[in-house]
Every structure is written in C-alpha cells, then in structure tokens.
Amino acid sequence: MLCLSSAWEEIVGMHVLVTGATGKVGQVSAAAALPRLNRHMSALSQKPDGQQKRQSGAPIGARHYFEKPIELAWGVPKLGGRGRQKPCTRLRKAAASASAAVNTRIKRNYEREEVVKRIKIGLLAAALVGFLDGTALAQEKTLAIVVKGLDNPFFEQINLGCQKWNNENANSGYKCFYTGPASSADETGEVQIVDDLLTRPDVAAIAISPSNAPLMAKLLREKAPKIPVMTIDADLSQDDADLRKTYLGTDNYLMGVKFAEYLQELKPDGGSICLQLGNVAADNINARAAGTRDTLAGEKGIERLTGQNGWTEIEGCPVFTNDQVDLANQQMADTFTANPDLDAFVLEGGWAQFAPQAYAQVTGQVMDKLDAKELIIVAGDTLPPQIEALKAGRSHVQVGQRPFEMGYRAPSVMVDLIEGKAVKPVIYTGLDECTQENVDTCIAQ
C-alpha cells in the first residue's frame, strides 16, 4: 500500500469540499491554506534515494486541483533516522493539517456568506414591507382632529373616541389622526399645526377645536382650503361660521344656562359670584359665560352681572385660566382668601379639577362653607376625578359634555362631508347633569 495514499485522500477531500461547497471563493481560500503542505512535500521529494512505484492513473501533482501547484512525488525517500518521523507520517500530518486549515477557512467563508445572504434577504423583506406599507399609507386618507392642547385630559377622551372609530373602520380607507399643541396655552402652535395639515396631500378633512377662534378664522380665510373643515368641541364665531362645514359638540350657551339654573335653585336670593373662564378668545367658553349671565339676569346680552336678580360679580372677576390647571387652582385659592363672603364660584370649564390633589387642597380651606352650602361651586365636565370631587362634597353640580362621543362621531361626519352628503350645520352631542344626589346615575351610557 502506498505511503502517500492517506495524504492523497486528504487532498482529494479538500478539492471536493472546496469545489462542491463554496465554489470559487472556497478554492481561493484553499490555495491560501496550502503553503505548509507544499513545503513539507517539497522537502520530502528533494533526495529520492529510492522511488516507490507510481500507482497507475494517479496524477503527479496537485496543479489540477489547486491554484498553487504542489509537486507530489510518489517515490518518497526512506529518510528514517532516530528522533525523526517517517516521511509518510510527516506527509500525512502535513496533509491533515492543511485539510483542517482549509476546512476552517471554508467554514468561515460559508458562515460569512450565510450571514450576508440572510442580511440581504432581511433587507429585501424590509424593503418589500416598507413598499407595501407605503402603498397602503398612500391609499389611506387622513381625517385630522386638532385640539387646543394635548395636556388637557378632556381632549384625551376625544382621542379615545377617535381610536375607537379607527378600530371599527380599519378597512375604510380613512384613518382618524388626533393631534394638537403640547400646551393648551399655545394658540399660535395650534394654528401652525392646522396650517401644516392643510399642505399635506393625504389629509382629506380636518376637525378643529380652536383655542383662539379669531386667529384660527384668519388662517382659514387666508388659506381657503379645498378640503372639508369642521369644528369640534369649540366653534368659530357666528361671523366666521361660513369657514367651516359644521360644528360637532356641546351647546355651550345651554351649558351656561344649566349652570345658572342650578345656582338659582341653590341660591334663590342671588349673591356675590365669580366666573372662571379659559382663554379670552375661546368662543365655546365665552358662550357658556353668556348663558350663565343671561339666565341669572333674566335678560339677553348681559356683559357683567351688576345686581340683576340679586347677582353681582365681584371685583377682579371673571378670571381667565388660559387653560392652565395650576393657574386655575391658584386663582380659586386667591379668590376664596380675598372674598370670605363669596356666595358662588363657577368653573365654566373643569380646569382646576383636572389636578385632583391641588383642587382638594384649595377646596379644603372652605369645606365648612361648602358643606353648609354657604358657598356653592358649579363646574363644567364630568371626568372621573371631577365625579370623585362631587362625591366628596368639593362641588355641588357638574354639568358634563361628551368628549368621547365627539371624537367617535367626528370621523364619520368628515367622511360624509368628503362624499358630499348632507350634514347639518350644527350637531349637538348633549349634556350630563350631575348633582350630589344623582352622582351615581347621571352619566349617559
């Protein structure tokens, strides 16, 4: 049996592995791994003292298999000698070493190629998904709802209604998009958001709760948008009503009337009163204040209560919160301190109550008067913290709007406007009237 047979099998195995597994990349790696084998085999063939008989049909070198030729002399000298390995042993070890090196290089190349392949597949898949998503987004039209500020929990109820509509109309081709400035005091920020939305080709309609109604009207008149624009929660003034297709929300004048009716019931002889409003130019809050004053006075167009039917607005009121809950609580505290004989305080919106702990501290200083109904507090909205305040005796009446319904109905109204369907110029969502006596059942389901 030839002493080179095992080495030859190693080399043939390398060739099969290289060409069969990884192709040309593997061949280059194999060639780079063989110098050691070449040196050993060349050394063995330098002094042929006696040659073995070459096996018929066996090639004389590795040039056929590798780029770097390795001359395989089949006649290997019997070098022997003490302390030295036999040539065949040295050759077999060299071949095995080279084979192992090649195997390692090939494995690394193969793994690297697999990683690259997977990355390419992943990128291709991501690109495909992105393309499909982009196509879907391009086809899906946006129904935008712009509120006064994202910091007001009242508007979060509108957002929840908007999201419910999305869940129920996933295949409608439209998506309700809720947005607004970070702060309710940022009037110009809200106007800028509307301005930006009007330039987007995907926006098919907009519902706006204008913080500063005249400023928003100015933008709409300048831009003359081609898409339907409606108002939600707060309307534009009557002079600018032509700039929107419809208003969806509370009958704010009626809400103010309800405040006054409960005050008349609790304080039939009238008394001193302070009204707390939001933004100076907020049409919805101003409408509530008008409803309160007109009803208490018994006549329309009252700008300030000056003794009509026993009701008088105290010096320094009304106060304007600019929709800021901290300012609202501070104003209440200051008013109670400066006017210990105050008979009624009206929150035309729920601002102070949106910060339950601060509101509890403020009302804590007058709890005896509240319990005795010497001081009456009526307030707008019926969010959970406000209902808890009512239950705790920190207010006497809460007249609530229905913001969730506004957010839920607005997208459908916008779709009707887009499709040219008839829509009423005003759509009211109703009120919930809560007192300490009916607090557990007053909220409409």
Residues 248-304: tens digit of each pLDDT: 999 999 999 999 999 999 999 999 999 999 999 999 999 999 999 999 999 999 999
Distance separating alpha carbons of residues 349 and 277, to the nearest angstrom: 7
Both structure tokens of 407? 């957010």
Equal CATH topology for 140-249 and 252-400: yes
- Quick check: helix, strand or coil at residue 270? coil
Cis amide linkage into residue 318, ω under 30° from 0:
yes
| Strand 397-400, strand 229-232: pairing | unpaired
Predicted pLDDT of residue 207: 98
For domain 140-249, give the CATH superfamily: Response regulator (3.40.50.2300)
Give the whole-angstrom CA distance, residue 130 versus residue 121: 14
| Bridge partners for 178 per DSSP | 145
pLDDT at 76 over 90: no
Q: Residue ranges of the domains in the chain?
A: 5-115, 140-249, 252-400
d(CA 249, CA 8): 90
Find out whether 213 and 281 touch, Cβ atoms under 8 Å: yes
CA distance 375 to 244: 41
- Among residues 377, 373, 351, the alpha carbon closest in space to that of 363 is found at 377
- Nearest Cα neighbor of 243 from 209, 217, 266 is 217
Whether residue 347 is predicted with pLDDT greater than 70 in this model: the reply is yes
Lookup: tokens for 230: 């409606």
What percentage of the chain exceeds 90 in pLDDT?
Answer: 68
Average pLDDT of span 112-124 = 63
Find all residues with CB under 8 Å of 341, minimum gap 6, and list them: 272
CA angle in degrees (0–180, nearest 5) for 159-360-148: 25
Residue pair 27/19 in contact (Cβ under 8 Å)? The answer is: yes
Nearest to 91 by CA among 41, 34, 35, 43: 41
pLDDT tens-digit series, residues 201-218: 999 999 999 999 999 999
pTM of model > 0.85: no
User: Can you tell me the distance from the alpha carbon of 187 to that of 181, in angstroms, rounded to the nearest whole number?
Assistant: 8
Q: Which band of pLDDT confidence, cut at 50, 70 and 90, is reported for residue 444? A: confident
Q: Which fold would CATH assign to domain 252-400? A: Rossmann fold (3.40.50)
Averaged confidence pLDDT in the chain: 82
Burial of residue 427 (number of CB atoms within 10 Å: 0-12, 13-18, 19+)? middle
Summarize pLDDT for 144-182 with one digit per residue, the tens.
Answer: 999 999 999 999 999 999 999 999 999 999 999 999 999
Instruction: Please enumerate in sequence order all residues whose Cβ is within 8 A of that of 418, keeping only pairs 6 or more positions apart, or say none.
Output: 141, 204, 205, 227, 228
